[in-house]
């Protein structure tokens, strides 16, 4: 049973850099079928996909945020990291990590963390 859990600060100041950690269990980050994504959701709003990382270290980013995002992983620790620079109040959101299973033609997020709410305020 796959499980994911996000951790990181609950409050960051404008212009600061946010670093989030997703700790996974029940699957390996070295599995060629699996990847991990970060997805966020401002309060009361829609989901927004942010970034992916796969076993071969291939990274993908939302084109509208690519210059602010860096995704990375530590396979030995079963952790995936997301760094977002120059935080702004509009970045206030719940940040989720989710597993991608590439074994399906229609790739989908089949397991999710509980999410972590990050507020951006001075």
Partner 1 sequence: IQMTQSPSSLPASVGDRVTLTCRASQSIGYYLNWYQQKPGKAPKVLIYGASSLQSGVPSRFIGSGFGTDFTLTINSLQPEDFATYFCQQSFTKPTFTFGQGTKVEVK
> Contact positions toward partner 1, by CB under 8 A?
35, 37, 45-49, 52, 54, 58, 60-63, 96, 98, 104-110, 112-115
| Least gap, CB of 59 to partner 1 (angstroms) | 9
Give min distance, CB of 42 to partner 1, in A.
12
Are 5 and 23 spatial neighbours (Cβ–Cβ below 8 Å)? Answer: yes
State residue 19 phi and psi, 5-degree precision.
-125, 120
DSSP-H helix ranges across 25-98: none
16 versus 70: smaller Cβ distance to partner 1: 70
Distance CA 39, CA 65 (A): 12
Task: Considering the complex, state which of residue 56 and residue 122 has its C-beta at the smaller distance from partner 1.
Answer: 56
What is the smallest separation between the CB atom of 34 and partner 1, expressed in angstroms? 13
Structure tokens at 50: 């942010």
Residue number, 16 or 94, with CB nearest to partner 1: 94
Q: What are phi and psi of 52, to 5 degrees?
A: -130, 155
């Amino acid at each position: 049973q796959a499980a994911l859990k996000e951790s990181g600060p609950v409050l960051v100041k404008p212009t600061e850099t946010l670093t989030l950690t997703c700790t996974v269990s029940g699957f390996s980050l070295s599995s060629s079928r699996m990847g991990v994504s970060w997805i966020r959701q401002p309060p009361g709003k829609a989901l927004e996909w942010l970034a992916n990382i796969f076993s071969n270290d291939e990274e993908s980013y939302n084109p509208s945020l690519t210059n602010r995002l860096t995704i990375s992983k530590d396979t030995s620790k079963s952790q995936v990291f997301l760094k977002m620079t120059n935080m702004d109040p509009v970045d206030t959101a719940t940040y989720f990590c989710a597993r991608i299973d590439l074994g399906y033609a229609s790739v989908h997020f089949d397991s999710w963390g509980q999410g972590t709410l990050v507020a951006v305020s001075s």
